[in-house]
């Protein structure tokens, strides 16, 4: 019964799970990394709505079961999300004011990316959200210095260039720095140029010969403007001083140098060895190297120039991923009065090397612990665990990342888009077999040599009530002696449930059933907490020898609880608590009257003592004995059959009666119980056979049926033997007396020689049985035999009446219809008459 109940629960659970898995499998095929793109202007107020996912992905959500109401959850990276997603309808709104310049600096593409999943995870849908932050013209171009001093020799030729400070505008696109303008004049103009990083700068160009005596200084306003709507601008004042001429100015070998610098170059690396020449002598020919005055602080922090020899060295690590190139304006100036510096441009291109390990970001569905993911053991295959994103700041092959998962084969990695992956279950999980998994995500780039990153996290399997309690045995057999005290401990049944908490908490109960029209609850009870079974009453084996009841174990999962059953078979062991009861001969006040023939010979059966005992086994096996009244030994009793017989001549004792005390005793081991009866045997002058009363026959348990059959067969055989001996004796007597013998052959011969007479037909009805006298048929006078004498007939008939020895039977079935029978002997023919 326990097995049947358990199998039923398991079958129902299996069917429900299978149906759910089939539905989830159909939905799982629709899970993909669909990308949704939106745009929003920077500096928008908090709460500004960008989109509502429930409306935008209505087509995908319509494929989910109608009973499922999806909820949305953002899987954002970073501690302070800029955008929020409402769970009910997936509304995306601004959570924190967005400043594009802080978020993305000068990058043209500024995008906030995150993932949104739908709950429950059994019907998970993944959406990749890209919100592009659009720039507004909220920044004007600015110069680092309000006044830029410039010294130019009056001997500067037309076309001589002087680099100017660049203006900075953090905006991008149309809102970024677009052009420069200079106050109108006749001697100077600006030439707008673009650096390798896309930044625009201006060179001051001499348009006409300068004469210090005519005009020794100029003040011109340099304005930087963007193309925003409305446009914004910033300006600085150029203070140009005209100095006396110096015969020669230092000149570089090249106007521009291009240097490739590995980003992993150590500090102190020599970038370039500049060489400028000045034909003058003395101080007018001594050259000093320096960075131009408008070089930004970032250059001064990263590079250093030796003023004496022009060596430019690295003093700070460069990072290709941060800045891929540098432009440095270098000047060489002699020590003479009114010297005019010579300029050259150093372009440093940072070469990417595989110096950045891949970064792994694991986004778990976890509230609290970031390194622990939780999943129900009832979750189907392909249940979502976590989102994984890998990034590598390097470029080219150095930035291409391969991601792998080591998850004991129970989990797998599925790529959704670009460098994003989902971790899904690969098989069904069973918490009772394994409750925790340690997963390892490995990200490795394709650089040479390759770099890799390893990140670990834990998956804890949460318990579900998927295991019914299981008994140690499907059947418990216990034995209890009768006459126990109420409340006696009988046994304990144990069922275990590997589930956790209330799912694994087992309670016991006895399934109600009937025992002899009474509830089982009147006989036994069970402790619901530990399965201990106790007796509620004292058992009497003679009333109830065996109890069979069902114990049910149920877990504590409430309405979804599971249960199983086991059968307990209680056998009540016998105790010798019932004395024998003498049922025959009938007792009155423990005394019975038994008649006995005075002339009974030794061995004569006087009576049979019949007794019953309600106990079982040895406790019910009875023996009989004579304990008193048999001093002369005239009686003997067979102990097992309890047959009382004479052992001598009771007539010779001269007594008219005997009082025998009979003891009937069981064979109990610890204690023997007995019953006594006094048999008053009275002698009678006539034989009287002892017969059993009908009630005695019904109560005779010791009489063996097979013994009756054997005695009957023996009696039949004895009778047959006596009959055979009698026939044999008669036949031998007839053979000795030829007068009374009859020979069929002689009769046949005599008949053949007899005169022919008409044949007479003998019919079936003509056959009769007639007595014989000492084997000779009686003869009577035949009508055709006048010589016959009636006297012998009379004497023979009288003799036949006195001595009837046998009967002769002739069956007509053996005589043909046309057979003529005529008997002939020394006497006339015998007339056969029908008497039946």
Which of the listed residues 351, 369, 391 is the one where a domain comes to its end? 351
Give the least confident one: 164-168, 180-184, 775-779.
Answer: 775-779
Give the least confident one: 335-349, 570-584, 635-649.
Answer: 335-349
Q: Which stretch, 51-55, 124-128, 787-791, has highest mean pLDDT?
A: 51-55
Average pLDDT over residues 248-275: 90
Each residue of 271-324: pLDDT tens digit? 999 999 888 777 777 899 999 887 888 899 999 999 999 999 999 999 988 888
Each residue of 793-819: pLDDT tens digit? 444 434 433 333 333 333 334 444 443
Please indicate, yes or no, if residue 724 is contained in any of the structural domains: no
Please indicate, yes or no, if residue 25 is contained in any of the structural domains: no
Each residue of 507-549: pLDDT tens digit? 999 999 998 888 999 999 999 999 999 999 999 888 888 999 9
Q: Do both 328 and 368 map to the same domain? A: no
pLDDT for the residue numbered 770 = 52
Full residue range of the structural domain in which residue 669 is found: 581-708
DSSP 8-state class, residue 35: E
Torsion angle of C-alpha atoms 708, 714, 715, 720, degrees rounded to 10 = 150
Contact 240, 219 (CB under 8 A): yes
Please indicate, yes or no, if residue 16 is contained in any of the structural domains: no
Contact 446, 398 (CB under 8 A): yes
> pLDDT-derived band of residue 630, with 50, 70 and 90 as boundaries?
confident
Each residue of 538-568: pLDDT tens digit? 998 888 889 999 999 999 988 889 999 999 9
The CATH number for 591's domain is 2.60.40.60
Q: Do both 155 and 253 map to the same domain? A: yes
Q: What is the DSSP string of 16-48?
A: HHHHHHHHHHHHHTT--EEEEEEEEETTPPTT-
% of the chain with per-residue pLDDT over 90: 41
Please indicate, yes or no, if residue 23 is contained in any of the structural domains: no
Alpha-carbon distance of 774 to 771, in angstroms, equals 9
Helix (H) or strand (E) holding 747: helix 744-753
- Mean per-residue pLDDT of the chain: 81
Contact 459, 373 (CB under 8 A): yes
Residue 765 has pLDDT above 80, yes or no: no
Residue 742 has pLDDT above 50, yes or no: no
Alpha-carbon distance of 523 to 480, in angstroms, equals 13
Which of the listed residues 708, 727, 762 is the one where a domain comes to its end? 708
Q: How many domains does the chain have?
A: 6
Contact 236, 146 (CB under 8 A): yes
| pTM exceeds 0.75 for this model | no
Q: Which residues contact 668 (CB under 8 A, 6 or more apart)?
A: 576, 615, 618, 619
Q: Which stretch, 416-420, 702-706, 765-769, has highest mean pLDDT?
A: 416-420
Give the least confident one: 29-38, 484-493, 629-638, 818-827.
Answer: 818-827
pLDDT for the residue numbered 759 = 47
Q: Do both 548 and 679 map to the same domain? A: no
Residue 596 backbone phi and psi in degrees, to 5? -145, 135
Residue 548's region, left for phi above 0, alpha for psi from -120 to 50, else beta, is beta
Q: Are strands 470-471 and 506-511 parallel, antiparallel or unpaired?
A: unpaired
- Alpha carbon of 214 to those of 65, 348, 448, 667: distances in Å? 91, 42, 65, 155
Q: Do both 87 and 147 map to the same domain? A: no
Q: Do both 390 and 451 map to the same domain? A: yes
Q: Do both 241 and 345 map to the same domain? A: yes
Q: Which stretch, 684-698, 704-718, 739-753, has highest mean pLDDT?
A: 704-718
Q: Give the distance, in angstroms, between the CA of residue 703 and the centroid of all CA atoms in the same chain.
A: 61
Which of the listed residues 439, 462, 485 is the one where a domain comes to its end? 462
* Token couple for 52: 């509502």
pLDDT for the residue numbered 300 = 92
List the alpha helices (DSSP H) in 176-274: none
pLDDT for the residue numbered 652 = 80
Please indicate, yes or no, if residue 725 is contained in any of the structural domains: no
pLDDT for the residue numbered 794 = 40
Helix (H) or strand (E) holding 315: none
Q: Do both 258 and 403 map to the same domain? A: no
Residue 692 has pLDDT above 60, yes or no: no
Q: Do both 368 and 440 map to the same domain? A: yes
Q: Do both 123 and 55 map to the same domain? A: yes
Q: Which residues contact 242 (CB under 8 A, 6 or more apart)?
A: 152, 153, 154, 210, 211, 212, 215, 216, 217, 218
Each residue of 191-217: pLDDT tens digit? 998 887 788 889 999 999 988 888 999
Alpha-carbon distance of 481 to 117, in angstroms, equals 68
pLDDT for the residue numbered 476 = 94
pLDDT for the residue numbered 284 = 74
343 DSSP β-pair partners: 331
């Amino acid at each position: 019964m326990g097995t049947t109940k358990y199998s039923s629960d398991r079958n129902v659970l299996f069917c429900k799970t299978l149906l759910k898995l089939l539905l989830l499998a159909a939905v799982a095929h629709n899970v993909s990394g669909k990308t949704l793109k939106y745009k929003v202007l920077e500096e928008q107020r908090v709460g500004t709505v960008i989109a509502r996912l429930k409306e935008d992905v209505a087509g995908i959500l319509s494929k989910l079961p109608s009973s499922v109401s999806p909820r949305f959850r953002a899987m954002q990276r970073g501690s302070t999300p800029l955008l929020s997603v409402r769970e009910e309808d997936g509304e995306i709104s601004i959570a924190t004011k967005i400043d594009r310049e802080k978020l993305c600096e000068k990058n043209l593409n500024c995008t906030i990316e995150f993932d949104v999943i739908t709950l429950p995870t059994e019907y998970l849908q993944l959406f990749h959200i890209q919100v592009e932050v659009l720039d507004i013209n909220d920044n004007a171009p600015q110069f680092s210095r309000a006044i830029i001093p410039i010294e130019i020799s009056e001997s500067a030729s037309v076309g001589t260039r002087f680099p100017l400070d660049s203006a900075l505008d953090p905006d991008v696109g149309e809102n970024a720095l677009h052009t420069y303008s200079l106050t109108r004049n006749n001697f100077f103009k600006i030439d707008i140029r673009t650096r390798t990083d896309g930044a625009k700068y201006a060179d001051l160009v001499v348009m006409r010969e300068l004469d210090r005596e005519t005009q020794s200084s100029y003040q011109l306003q340099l304005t930087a403007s963007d193309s925003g709507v409305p446009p914004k601008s910033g300006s600085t004042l150029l203070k140009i001083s005209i100095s006396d001429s110096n015969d020669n100015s230092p000149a570089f070998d090249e106007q521009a140098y291009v240097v490739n610098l590995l980003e992993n170059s150590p500090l102190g690396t020599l970038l370039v060895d500049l060489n400028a020449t000045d034909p003058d002598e003395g101080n007018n020919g001594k050259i000093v190297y320096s960075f131009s005055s408008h070089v930004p602080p970032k250059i001064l922090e990263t590079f250093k120039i030796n003023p004496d020899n022009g060596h430019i060295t690295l003093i700070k690590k460069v990072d290709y991923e941060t800045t891929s190139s540098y432009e440095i304006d270098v000047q060489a100036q002699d020590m003479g009065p009114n010297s005019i510096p010579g300029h050259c441009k150093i372009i440093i291109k940072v070469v990417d090397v595989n110096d950045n390990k891949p970064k792994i970001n694991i986004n778990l569905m976890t509230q609290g612990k970031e390194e622990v993911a939780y999943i129900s053991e009832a979750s189907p295959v392909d249940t979502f665990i976590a989102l994984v994103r890998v990034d590598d700041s390097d470029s080219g092959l150095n930035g291409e990342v391969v991601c792998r998962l080591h998850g004991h084969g129970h989990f797998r990695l599925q790529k959704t888009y670009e460098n994003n992956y989902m971790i899904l279950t690969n098989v069904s999980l069973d918490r009772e077999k394994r409750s925790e998994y340690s997963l390892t995500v490995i990200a490795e780039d394709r650089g040479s040599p390759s770099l890799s990153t390893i990140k670990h996290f834990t998956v804890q399997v949460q318990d579900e009530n998927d295991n019914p309690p299981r008994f140690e045995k499907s059947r418990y057999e216990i034995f209890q002696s009768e006459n126990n005290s109420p409340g006696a401990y009988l046994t304990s049944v144990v069922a275990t449930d590997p589930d956790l908490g209330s799912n694994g908490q087992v309670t016991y109960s006895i399934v109600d059933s009937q025992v002899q029209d009474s509830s089982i609850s009147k006989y036994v009870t069970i402790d619901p907490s530990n399965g201990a079974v106790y007796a509620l009453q004292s058992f009497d084996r003679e009333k109830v020898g065996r109890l069979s009841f069902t114990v049910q174990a149920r877990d504590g999962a409430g309405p979804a609880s599971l249960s199983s059953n086991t059968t307990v078979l209680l056998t009540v062991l016998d105790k010798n608590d019932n004395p024998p009861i003498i049922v025959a001969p009938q007792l009155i006040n423990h005394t019975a009257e038994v008649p006995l023939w005075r002339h009974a010979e030794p061995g004569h059966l006087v009576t049979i003592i019949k007794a019953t005992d309600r106990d079982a086994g040895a406790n019910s096996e009875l023996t009989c004995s004579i304990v008193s009244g048999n001093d002369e030994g005239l009686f003997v009793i067979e102990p097992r059959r309890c047959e009382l017989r004479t052992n001598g001549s009771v007539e010779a004792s001269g007594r008219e009666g005997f009082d025998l005390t009979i003891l009937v005793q069981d064979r109990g081991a610890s204690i023997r119980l007995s019953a006594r009866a006094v048999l008053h045997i009275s002698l009678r002058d006539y034989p009287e056979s002892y017969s059993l009363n009908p009630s005695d026959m019904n109560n005779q348990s010791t009489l063996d049926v097979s013994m009756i059959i054997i005695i009957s067969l023996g009696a039949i055989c004895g009778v047959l033997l006596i009959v055979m001996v009698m026939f044999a004796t008669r036949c031998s007597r007839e053979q000795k007396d030829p007068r009374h013998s009859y020979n069929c052959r002689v009769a046949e011969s005599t008949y053949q020689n007899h005169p022919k007479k008409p044949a007479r037909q003998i019919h079936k009805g003509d056959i009769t049985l007639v007595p014989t006298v000492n084997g000779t048929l009686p003869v009577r006078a035949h009508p055709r035999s006048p010589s016959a004498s009636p006297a012998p007939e009379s004497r023979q008939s009288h003799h036949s009446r006195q001595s009837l020895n046998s009967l002769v039977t002739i069956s007509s079935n053996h005589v043909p219809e046309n057979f003529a029978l005529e008997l002939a002997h020394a006497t006339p023919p015998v007339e056969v008459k029908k008497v039946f």
